[in-house]
A and B are shown apart, each in its own frame.
Chain A
Amino acid sequence: MRIGVITFPGTLDDRDAARAVNVSGAEAVALWHADADLKKVDAVILPGGFSYGDYLRCGAISRFAPVMKLVIDAAGKGMPVLGICNGFQVLCESHLLPGALTRNSDLHFLCRDQEIEITNNATAWTTSFAKGERITIPLKNGEGSFQCDDQTLATLESEGRVIARYVGVNPNGSRNLIAGITNERGNVVGLMPHPEHAIDPLTGPSAQGLGFFTSILKAMVK
C-alpha cells in the first residue's frame, strides 16, 4: 500500500503527512510537484502549507503543476485523493471539488485545536470513524472559509457530501460550518483542519487524526 505525498514549493506539512501514513501502516512515497510520474502509488495526499507562496490565489498555481495533471486524471478514475488545508484549496482550484476557500471572515490567521464532527463516514478517507463522531485536531489557516453558490451548497447537503463540520464555533465563516467535503464518488476528500498533526498525544491534541489514514488503508485492502 503506497500513498504518495506531494511536495510543492512552499508545502509545509509533507513530513507530518508522510509520518502519519507510515504510522498508520502504509508506505509514504514522496512525490515532487514537477514529477511526471505518480510512482505507482495507490492514493495521493496533498498536504498543507503555502504552495507557490499562495500567490494569485491559494492553490491556483499548484493546480497547473505537472504532477497535478496525473492526479486529476487518476482521481477521475477513482484513485483516492486527500487534500488537507492548502491541499483542499488545490483540489478546489483543480475543480476536483466544488466551491472555494476564501479569507477567514475575521481576517486573522487561525491556529488552534478545533473540534469537528464527522458527518460522512462512507468516503475512502473516513470509514474508520463513526458517523457523528467528534474529534479534536489542529486548525491552522488564513483562507479556510468554505464558499460556494446556493445550488452547490444544496447539492452537497442533499447528497451527504459534507464530511466534517466545525463544532461549537464557526472559526472562519465557512458556509454551513463546513470543514470538509467529498466529490460525488467519495474518493476525493478536502479537509481544512489537519489530521496529520494529531496522530500522537505527545505532539498533538489527540491521536484522533490517525483515522483518516487508517481509513484509506482499509479502503485499499478491501
Chain B
Amino acid sequence: MAKIVVNVMLKPEILDPQGNAVASALPRLGFTFANSVRQGKRFEIEIDGEPTPAQMVEVEKAAEVLLSNPVIETYEVRVEK
C-alpha cells in the first residue's frame, strides 16, 4: 500500500485571513519566530501497491479538477515512502 500526498496552497497573491489569524495568535503565546503564516490543505490518498505512472496522471487530474481550485490555489503531488 502506498500513500499519495496532495498539498494545496492558496496562491501567494490571494489574501489568507486564516493564515493571518494564526500569525497574529503566535506572538500572543510567546512564539516570536514567524514573519508570516500561510494555511493550506493536505490530502492523504491510500492506494493498493505502488502507484503506476497512469495512476499518477489520474491523481494530478483529480488534484486540478477537484482537490484544488486553480483560480486561487496551487497543488503539489508526491508519493510518501
Query: What is A's interface to B at a CB cutoff of 8 Å?
Result: 56-57, 60, 64, 92-93, 98-100, 102-107, 145, 147-149, 173
Contact = CB atoms under 8 A, between A and B. Distances in A.
A72 to B, nearest CB: 14
Interface stretch (B29-37, B44-52, B53-61, B67-75): B67-75
Contacts of B66: 56, 60, 64
Given A56-B66, A60-B66, A105 B17 contact: yes
Interface residues of B, number: 12
B26 interface: no
Nearest to A106: B17
B79 interface: no
Nearest to B19: A103
B62 to A, nearest CB: 12
Given A105-B15, A145-B15, A149-B13, A98 B71 contact: yes
B75 to A, nearest CB: 13
Interface in B5-38: 10, 13-15, 17-18, 21
